[in-house]
Amino acid sequence: MQDIVKAVEKNRQLILDAERFIWKHPETGYKEFETSKYMENAFEALGYTLVRAEGITGFYTVLDTGREGPEVLILGELDSIICPSHPEADPKTGAVHSCGHNAQCATLLGIAAALKEPNILDKFCGRIRLCAVPAEELLEIEYRTGLKKAGKIKYFGGKSEFLSRGYFDGVDIAFMVHTSVKYCTNGGSVGCLAKRIVYKGKAAHAGGNPEAGINALYAANCGLNAVNAIRETFREKDQIRVHPIVTDGGVMVNAIPATAVLESYVRGKSFEAIVRENRKVNRALIGAALSLGANIEIVDTPGYAPLVNDKNMMELAKEAAAMVMPDTDFEMRETYSSGSTDMGDLSCIMPVVHPYAGGAVGTSHGNDYYIADPEAACVTNAKWQLTMLLLLLQNRAERGKKIIAEHTPLFASKEAYLSYVDGLNCEGDRITYREDGITEVRLDTGSVEEGNDSRAI
């Protein structure tokens, strides 16, 4: 423990400088070019050999102790959110790290630096993979859809993308720590399905002959109201959240809008709940288009899996926190957060934990969020995570091996998991107006067992 503390303290300024640099250079998912380069240079200066993600941001590196044992993955997230009203947001992009990912990256760099100190690796066995991963915040869906169509990515989330590319092959356990206002962990968090919704009407002169048009914006308004009308049907235990925004509502005031575009998620505590309630949401959105004679394109794309924190890993995080911060109250909750993270994707195939460190103030993703105590958020955080790693990989990795043996993953392999989520993809127009007066509606792909759901009206 004392050697770990000294190793981190020796690199304290490196950690704090990284936190400030990344705070001042916020970039959103798959655009973290400056952030990723900064981290790459810092890692290489420490003597690491990196595997850079091909065609996108992010990288990983592996430390092999030369002694038999499992492989543990530690992550830091590169991306920011968008909050233009934040006083320190980028004036051009509105990007700002009011998510705390700047502190995560600085902490990851501190861990990397400490592990390079003399004799530190002597205390560990197995392999340690350090990863700076892009695109955890699920935003700019249209931009990511473009990347997907161009073949640059397959998944919206960076961890899902890295998983599919084989960048996590061989990993047995994973953890990361998110910055928050206190030290704690939840039982998990909800997953989500990402939606891009395009209402398709017909343009016409809004003053001269509006009767010749079909108002896509009005159809979208009806869709929003329809979704609001079904909220009372969502079961509380499923923690469903649906929160659409309008990203395009027309191009000029004297024309009936031919197109209106929405983005949304459907969040839920389980895949079953997400799929079931997404069908209701699609039915409401499509019904609104039908009511005005418009069409609707819905692009449903897997977002993130529900996160299930491994109970043994939760206990390990609490134990490590008590060792590093004996006077700090660490709260371990069984409840699920209603936010989403692509750490959930990893939890489907291996034991993970995603706890929170203190050091931040304000509202997460809000315009008053700051890292008020970088010492806690980054320096102490690095000590905490290294202690978690030590508990896993010391004494021939007895603790790590026990956690792996007692864990039952939701899916047997990454291939099984990715095959399942790929089945949730569905896109295209959902209404066919036939000349014989019959209208055909397609709700979604349904579950793997149920297949497509098409209705004739």
pLDDT in tens, 406-429: 999 999 999 999 999 999 999 999
By CB neighbour count within 10 A (0-12 exposed, 13-18 middle, 19+ buried), where does 278 fall?
buried
Q: Are residues 348 and 389 in the same domain?
A: yes
Q: In which residue ranges of the chain is pLDDT below 50? A: 446-452, 455
Q: How many domains does the chain have?
A: 2
pTM above 0.95, yes or no: no
List all residues 6 or more positions away from 450 whose beta carbon is below 8 Å from its beta carbon.
Answer: none
Q: Are residues 108 and 23 in the same domain?
A: yes
Q: Are residues 440 and 409 in the same domain?
A: no
Strand order in the sheet with 51-52: 51-52, 59-64, 127-133, 71-77, 173-175, 352-353
Q: Beta-strand (E) ranges in 191-349?
A: 191-200, 241-242, 245-248, 259-268, 295-304, 307-308, 331-332, 336-337
Q: Are residues 299 and 312 in the same domain?
A: no
Say how many CA atoms lie within 13 Å of 392 toward its Cβ: 32
Q: Are residues 228 and 288 in the same domain?
A: yes
Q: Are residues 79 and 125 in the same domain?
A: yes
Q: Are residues 358 and 260 in the same domain?
A: no
Containing structural domain, residue 430: 192-304+426-456
Q: Are residues 142 and 54 in the same domain?
A: yes
CATH number of domain containing 115: 3.40.630.10
The answer to whether 138 and 79 are in contact (CB under 8 A) is no
CATH number of domain containing 449: 3.30.70.360
Q: Are residues 296 and 330 in the same domain?
A: no
Q: Are residues 94 and 133 in the same domain?
A: yes
Query: Closest by alpha carbon to 320, among 436, 106, 175?
Result: 175
Q: Are residues 177 and 312 in the same domain?
A: yes
By CB neighbour count within 10 A (0-12 exposed, 13-18 middle, 19+ buried), where does 270 fall?
middle
| Portion of the chain with pLDDT greater than 70, in percent | 97
Q: Are residues 56 and 132 in the same domain?
A: yes
